[in-house]
Structure 1
Amino acid sequence: MKTANFFHAALKIQAFYCAEDVQKIGSYLLQKISVQPGSTGYKKNLLRHYQYNMKLIFSILLFLIVGFIPEFSMGNDDHEKFVYTGFTGSNLTLDGAARITSTGLIELTNDTARIKGHAFYPFKLRFRQSPNGTVQSFSLSFVFGILSSFGDIRGHGFAFFVAPSNDFTDAFPIQFLGLLNSTNNGSLSNHIFAVEFDTIQNTEFGDIDNNHVGIDINSLNSLKSYSAGFYNDKNGTSFTNVSLIGSGPIQAWVEYNGNTMQIDVTIAPLAQEKPVRPLLSLTNNLSSILTEEAYIGFSSSTGLTTGHHCILGWSFGMNSPAPVIDSTKLPKLPNLGPRSPSKLLEIILPITSALFILVIGIAIVILVRRHMRYKEVREDWEVEYGPHRFTYKDLFHATKGFSSKHLIGVGGFGRVYKGVLPKSKAEVAVKRVSYNSKQGVQQFTAEVVSMGHLQHNNVVKLHGYCRRKGEFLLVYDYMANGSLEKYLYSEQGMTTLDWGQRFKIIKDIASGLLYLHEEWDKVVIHRDVKPNNILLDEGMNGRLGDFGLARMYDHGTDPQTTHVVGTIGYLAPELVHRGKASTLTDVFAFGVFILEVTCGKKPVSEDTQANQLMLVDWVIHNWREESLLDTVDINLQGKYDIDQACLALKLGLLCSHPFPGSRPNMRQILQYLEGDVPMPELQPEHFRFHMLALMQSEGNLNPSTISLYPSPMMAEFGSISFSLDGR
């Protein structure tokens, strides 16, 4: 026990005593022994036994520890403390760019870009006595300086930290200060408490400015921060700003009260006393943040701009105030000074010039591309059509750049896209129609604008147009249920129309055609009546759409002869023969349309021997054989009105009569459908010619030009144009 007492006494001797003080040690031991109870003889014998040996032991012990450890108390962990006044010969752990200079200060970073440096106290400290215990009070103070070789051009800052590990391999430099990275910033698993001294404003972390102090927990988004400075009066009301860069040595104090859970951060120039009022105060329970044991140290980094982050002195106390740092023993900050202006300009000017040229070039490219993207064709004669013209920019944005995701139909003349107009938010369908000929552009535009005045429940509204080089863009109402064709030739999962819906659609289109032919200001010939151009609104009402091929003329005049356009199977013989469209050519197409809706078959098809079959010829054949109802669409499964079906089939044959003089007009057709007027009986002599033979007679139509339709498309405004031989 006596030996233990001696060693315990020896270990409490201060570490910075010199070897010549051994005699004082002996006196100290004599004092310790003299106070022990017992006889005088016991003391004398004990002294003789230990006197020489103890002097030798303590001399060796003192020489081993002198100069190698800072002044520190080896009491229990609850009261651990240390102080460094310079770091020459210290046993701190350094990594990255950190080093101890010849003058004894820690230099965490230097003038190298994108580096990081760390300095750690070599051992973990016990911040709480048990895993579930509360964090003990602690206090630290350190003196630092931040220097720049480039004057006011500043790099990133540094931070004091408490962390469970001293491995920061995955941490990023630049704005992450060598502490965290873009993945773990803000993660609760970090268990990091830090005080940052930041000299660049990073908006991603919500920094208040480029010269601030902040309290960070698990994240570089500070819980609390304030511009660097101190309160220089006893009342704590007068504030003085301090530049973290180039202001000489600055002392910082960081204190945590384990009872009140208050964190205080204070800074002041080294020559100043510790201010009464802290710069930052925050109440936060670190017991949920810090691990039982943790490392403490400093971390710093640089980015494209650099700086020297230096630590001159450091003290720490657990459950006690941090020891006072003797400023007279601290190393001096080096005098870097700014680089000469010429060297600075040599670096910055070429970079700035290159960036300026690059930015200007990019801006020019963007402006040119934007101009070309939205470029339109406008001529003087279009001024009067202004209200009916859309800007290409609006249509481009409405269709998301004519994205394939908005494509709802493809036809021979172009593609159709769904769009939402930017200003009105109205849903529209935009058809891009190829138009390479310069002839007739003005007439076509005038007719498009005129047809924009059409107002009928069974006609799709044409809102207007836009014209670019080589194409027209026509803007229609958007019909939610798409085209009739996809219902007739049921796509997978599509419900087949029942008979009532089909008959209603036939009457709807008849009403729409009557309006175009007789009830509007001018006569409008649609020229492309077919299921693909019949659109269905939300109530499954039929509407006649796609006026891309339509032509108009005044009532009481004859239409002009034009080149043949339309779709094979719906073209009247006289249109193929003479190229003259009229209201009766629309009637012919409507008759084929009635048969197609009733029979569920396309106008032109092939048999197994690749022979062309015409729907009209097939229905005529069954009518002659008195088996007309055998042509009704089998998908109806016999669920239809027999009288209506017979009426539709016979009316379809009458309308598709090869001779225009034998066809009814649209007013008569609608009267037959409504039952207002009985339809005349069909006579065998009316159908002495097969339609296919009639169309091929006199070389007017080469059989090779008759081809099958493409498979049904989910198109709303698709149309196909054919060039026919022998016009």
Structure 2
Amino acid sequence: MLVLIKLILLVVSALAGFASCQDLSITYNGFRSTNLSLDGLAQLTPNGVLKLTDDTKEQQGHAFFPNPVSFKNSANSSAFTFSTTFVFAIVSEYPTMSGHGIAFVIAPRRGLPGALPSHQLGLFNETNNGKPTNHVFAVELDTVQSKEFNDINNNHVGIDINGLNSTLADPAGYYSNGNGVVQNLTLASGKAMQVWIDYDGTAKHISVTLAPIYAGKPNKPLLSLPNDLSPVLNEIMYIGFSSSTGSVPTSHCLLGWSFKMNGVAQGLDLSQLPKLPRVGPKKRSKVLTIGLPVILIASLSIAISGVIYRVRIKKKFAEVLEDWEHEYGPHRFKYKDLYIATKGFRDKGLLGSGGFGKVYHGILPSSKLEVAVKRVSHESRQGMKQFVAEIVSIGRLRHRNLVPLLGYCRRKDELLLVYEYMPNGSLDRFLFEQHENTLNWSQRFRVIRGVASGLFYLHEGWEQIVIHRDVKASNVLLDSELNGRLGDFGLARLYDHGTDPQTTRVVGTLGYLAPEHTRTGKATTKTDVYAFGAFLLEVVCGRRPTEPHPPTEDAILVDWVFSCWNKGQILEAVDQNMGLNYVKEEVELVMKLGLLCSQSEPIARPSMRQVVLYLDSALALPDLSSLGISASGLSFSSQEGFGDFNLSCPSSMDKPFSHASSSVAESLLSGGR
């Protein structure tokens, strides 16, 4: 009987706790003494800032109110009215990039188990995104454009219901009460801003308002959406925040938070909010920068020596800077910074050599960001203005399977391209130089799908069409988690959607060149598909497209794979170093897709959109026999007649940033573009 009484009291106490949550009201003017449920990177700083993330890459952080909140009286009743406001700031250590954003979230569970970082914002994963069974409502402050979620740009506010394809989104901004005109805001500016989220349970309406911290709440919300949240919200839910990082160190901070159920959230006392933490190097003391006054007059010889020293230093770090480059200021690196980052371009930091360029590892002195710096010569100034413009455009590409091109520098007869550093180096190195640590099939298939996704983004997912022109294993780099990232955009070309690319000189690597490219000199998305086909066979078979001493009688890889398929024994071409633990259906799919992409007629090759669907099993691969594929339809561009063209030979590198391609100066700056 005593046990029964205790059980009844426990149930009554729990019901009373939930009932009290119907009028829940919380206000945090700073987070100095709060009992929040934290996980991942989330932490509370000594001065009361809630940091959801720090400078750790590819991670996530969650902060939830620890107690469950009652949002409905029963499963079939309407969701209650609620209101919340919070002050946030997104502080990136790299001024032109950030990642990935903050989301206010209402979810059935704390911590959002199974959620992924980066573009998933710590909310969902590739399996559950968009499913009604999630029962998740969120408002995202997104700083990276993800085409797969139909993001409108890389600086927007969105209302998310059960998935990251926002039900409604607008560029970040606020309506000025004076004239009603939208004033733009940059979410990742490092400045504090305030958000108000209100749901009217009677009118079934959601509104989201954004403004600078001291501007006050605008009369007109940024987002206004009629929507009934009753089917989305369960009776009992949890409220909190989620955030994630990508490849750029970024701190996602909250300074204050207020929430009210069945009412309007209490306003925050802005004077009590903590200050944001500093990011980047500390300022030097003025005393040290000014220095002590000169006490003694230096001798003439010392003065002359000082002048000579300054002249040498100025000459050592002299750069080429023309008027037309001023608009590219944020994308241009100082040679002095790159010199310091690479410790003077010493051989100790050499990552590899390929074509006409050497690549060095470096750490930028100001941001501490790891980079790979490629040095190439540009003896000719022809086409330089167009080339730099395209380099800056390519630097705006954002995709998790592309190596970010951060910017450039020009000095004397040198051009330096700055990329984000990839710690595991090139795929080429794992395929041909590390047989004891070779990649298994699961890892290879993930790399293949990643490169396909990146190439599809270049062809169709960006504001312009980007033709890479040098797709191959040595230009696929692996990040810390062995994800494949397509890099080296030194040969890439851009043109507008709906236009025809202009004729150019043949550039690329022997074995990956489509036959029509060698005849006409015109690079298209189909020539990239051809190179991708050679890349597929290269990854599965562990052989280069052409080898002087092949393990079989066929020196040309595509011919060998075709002969194996023709005999009904296509798996004989699989790389033996991969072992036998692989999915035969996936391997056959990739090899057949490689043959399909290697068709001599461009019209017979699939688009990268179709390739991605094939690899995701969302579209059935056509039967090769029904397509009439024959040895004559699989074409390899022989070296004959290539004396006037710029080609690079396959090569690999001993260090993490691998590159082997034509000279940018030769192929791009002397009429090649």
Q: TM-score, normalised by structure 2?
A: 0.52
Q: CA deviation at 1:565?
A: 1.1
SS, match of residue 472 in structure 1? strand
Q: Which residue of 2 aligns with 1:317?
A: none
Q: Which residue of 2 aligns with 1:480?
A: 423
Q: Closer, same or farther in 2 for the Cα pair 1:406/1:708, shift >3 Å? A: closer
Structure 1 segments of 4+ aligned residues over 6 angstroms from their partners: 608-612, 702-708
Q: Closer, same or farther in 2 for the Cα pair 1:705/1:400, shift >3 Å? A: closer
The reply to whether residue 720 of structure 1 matches residue 661 of structure 2 is: yes
Map 1:400-411 → 2, pairs under 5 A = 400-411=343-354
**Pick aligned residue for 1:573 from 515, 518, 523:** 515
Q: Closer, same or farther in 2 for the Cα pair 1:704/1:423, shift >3 Å? A: closer
Q: Which residue of 2 aligns with 1:655?
A: 597
Q: Which residue of 2 aligns with 1:590?
A: 532
Q: CA deviation at 1:356?
A: 4.2
Q: Match of 2:442, as an amino acid? A: G
Is the CA contact (8 Å cut-off) linking 2:400 and 2:485 kept in structure 1?
Answer: yes
SS, match of residue 563 in structure 2? helix
Map 1:297-336 → 2, pairs under 5 A = none
SS, match of residue 619 in structure 2? coil
Map 1:13-162 → 2, pairs under 5 A = none
Structural RMSD (CA): 2.9
**Pick aligned residue for 1:381 from 297, 311, 324:** 324
SS, match of residue 547 in structure 2? strand
Q: CA deviation at 1:708?
A: 6.6
In the alignment, the residues of structure 2 paired with residue 437 and residue 657 of structure 1 have an alpha-carbon distance, to the nearest angstrom, of: 37
Q: Which residue of 1 aligns with 2:630?
A: 687
In the alignment, the residues of structure 1 paired with residue 656 and residue 514 of structure 2 have an alpha-carbon distance, to the nearest angstrom, of: 24
Larger helix fraction of residues: 1
SS, match of residue 647 in structure 1? helix
In the alignment, the residues of structure 1 paired with residue 406 and residue 564 of structure 2 have an alpha-carbon distance, to the nearest angstrom, of: 44
Larger radius of gyration: 1
SS, match of residue 400 in structure 2? coil
Q: Which residue of 2 aligns with 1:665?
A: 607
**Pick aligned residue for 1:449 from 392, 396, 420:** 392
In the alignment, the residues of structure 2 paired with residue 721 and residue 691 of structure 1 have an alpha-carbon distance, to the nearest angstrom, of: 25
Q: Match of 1:582, as an amino acid? A: T
Q: CA deviation at 1:445?
A: 0.3
Q: CA deviation at 1:705?
A: 10
**Pick aligned residue for 2:580 from 632, 635, 638:** 638
Q: CA deviation at 1:614?
A: 1.2
In the alignment, the residues of structure 2 paired with residue 463 and residue 425 of structure 1 have an alpha-carbon distance, to the nearest angstrom, of: 14
Q: Which residue of 2 aligns with 1:364?
A: 307
Q: CA deviation at 1:620?
A: 1.0
Is the CA contact (8 Å cut-off) linking 2:474 and 2:652 kept in structure 1?
Answer: no
Q: Match of 2:419, as an amino acid? A: Y
SS, match of residue 667 in structure 1? helix
Q: Closer, same or farther in 2 for the Cα pair 1:711/1:464, shift >3 Å? A: closer
Where does the alignment leave 5 or more consecutive residues of structure 1 unmatched? 1-351
Is the CA contact (8 Å cut-off) linking 1:606 and 1:708 kept in structure 2?
Answer: no
Map 1:449-468 → 2, pairs under 5 A = 449-468=392-411
SS, match of residue 557 in structure 1? coil
Q: Closer, same or farther in 2 for the Cα pair 1:433/1:615, shift >3 Å? A: same
In the alignment, the residues of structure 1 paired with residue 647 and residue 355 of structure 2 have an alpha-carbon distance, to the nearest angstrom, of: 15
Is the CA contact (8 Å cut-off) linking 2:426 and 2:473 kept in structure 1?
Answer: yes
1:583-630: CA deviation from partner (whole Å, max 9, x where unpaired): 111111111000000000111102389998111111111111211100
Q: Closer, same or farther in 2 for the Cα pair 1:432/1:459, shift >3 Å? A: same
Q: Which residue of 2 aligns with 1:250?
A: none
Q: TM-score, normalised by structure 1?
A: 0.48
Is the CA contact (8 Å cut-off) linking 1:657 and 1:687 kept in structure 2?
Answer: no
Q: Closer, same or farther in 2 for the Cα pair 1:708/1:470, shift >3 Å? A: closer
Q: Which residue of 2 aligns with 1:513?
A: 455
Q: Closer, same or farther in 2 for the Cα pair 1:465/1:612, shift >3 Å? A: farther
In the alignment, the residues of structure 1 paired with residue 385 and residue 483 of structure 2 have an alpha-carbon distance, to the nearest angstrom, of: 34
Is the CA contact (8 Å cut-off) linking 2:513 and 2:530 kept in structure 1?
Answer: yes
SS, match of residue 681 in structure 1? coil
Q: Closer, same or farther in 2 for the Cα pair 1:696/1:637, shift >3 Å? A: closer
Q: CA deviation at 1:645?
A: 0.4
Q: Closer, same or farther in 2 for the Cα pair 1:384/1:704, shift >3 Å? A: closer
In the alignment, the residues of structure 1 paired with residue 603 and residue 631 of structure 2 have an alpha-carbon distance, to the nearest angstrom, of: 15
Q: CA deviation at 1:690?
A: 7.4
1:292-330: CA deviation from partner (whole Å, max 9, x where unpaired): xxxxxxxxxxxxxxxxxxxxxxxxxxxxxxxxxxxxxxx
1:616-648: CA deviation from partner (whole Å, max 9, x where unpaired): 111111111211100000012222110000000
Q: Match of 1:401, as an amino acid? A: G
Q: Match of 2:388, as an amino acid? A: T
Is the CA contact (8 Å cut-off) linking 1:420 and 1:427 kept in structure 2?
Answer: yes
Where does the alignment leave 5 or more consecutive residues of structure 2 unmatched? 1-295
Q: Which residue of 1 aligns with 2:218?
A: none
Q: Which residue of 2 aligns with 1:422?
A: 365
Q: Which residue of 1 aligns with 2:494?
A: 552
Q: Which residue of 2 aligns with 1:326?
A: none
Is the CA contact (8 Å cut-off) linking 1:532 and 1:716 kept in structure 2?
Answer: no
Q: Match of 2:389, as an amino acid? A: A
Q: CA deviation at 1:434?
A: 2.0
**Pick aligned residue for 1:539 from 481, 485, 488:** 481
**Pick aligned residue for 1:471 from 414, 417, 426:** 414
In the alignment, the residues of structure 2 paired with residue 609 and residue 654 of structure 1 have an alpha-carbon distance, to the nearest angstrom, of: 24
Q: Match of 1:363, as an amino acid? A: G
Is the CA contact (8 Å cut-off) linking 1:522 and 1:554 kept in structure 2?
Answer: yes
Map 1:176-255 → 2, pairs under 5 A = none
Q: Closer, same or farther in 2 for the Cα pair 1:667/1:528, shift >3 Å? A: same
Q: Closer, same or farther in 2 for the Cα pair 1:606/1:707, shift >3 Å? A: farther
SS, match of residue 605 in structure 1? coil
Q: Which residue of 1 aligns with 2:274?
A: none
**Pick aligned residue for 1:620 from 562, 570, 577:** 562
The reply to whether residue 502 of structure 1 matches residue 450 of structure 2 is: no
**Pick aligned residue for 2:547 from 599, 605, 617:** 605
% identical equivalent positions? 50
SS, match of residue 618 in structure 1? helix
Q: Which residue of 2 aligns with 1:129?
A: none
Q: CA deviation at 1:469?
A: 2.2
Q: Which residue of 2 aligns with 1:677?
A: 619
Q: Match of 1:532, as an amino acid? A: S
In the alignment, the residues of structure 1 paired with residue 646 and residue 557 of structure 2 have an alpha-carbon distance, to the nearest angstrom, of: 17
Is the CA contact (8 Å cut-off) linking 1:377 and 1:468 kept in structure 2?
Answer: yes
Q: Match of 1:721, as an amino acid? A: S
SS, match of residue 430 in structure 1? strand
Q: Greater RCO between the two (CA within 8 Å, min separation 6)?
A: 2
In the alignment, the residues of structure 2 paired with residue 380 and residue 417 of structure 1 have an alpha-carbon distance, to the nearest angstrom, of: 29
1:188-237: CA deviation from partner (whole Å, max 9, x where unpaired): xxxxxxxxxxxxxxxxxxxxxxxxxxxxxxxxxxxxxxxxxxxxxxxxxx
In the alignment, the residues of structure 1 paired with residue 313 and residue 617 of structure 2 have an alpha-carbon distance, to the nearest angstrom, of: 59
SS, match of residue 522 in structure 2? coil
Q: Match of 1:720, as an amino acid? A: S
In the alignment, the residues of structure 2 paired with residue 456 and residue 598 of structure 1 have an alpha-carbon distance, to the nearest angstrom, of: 24
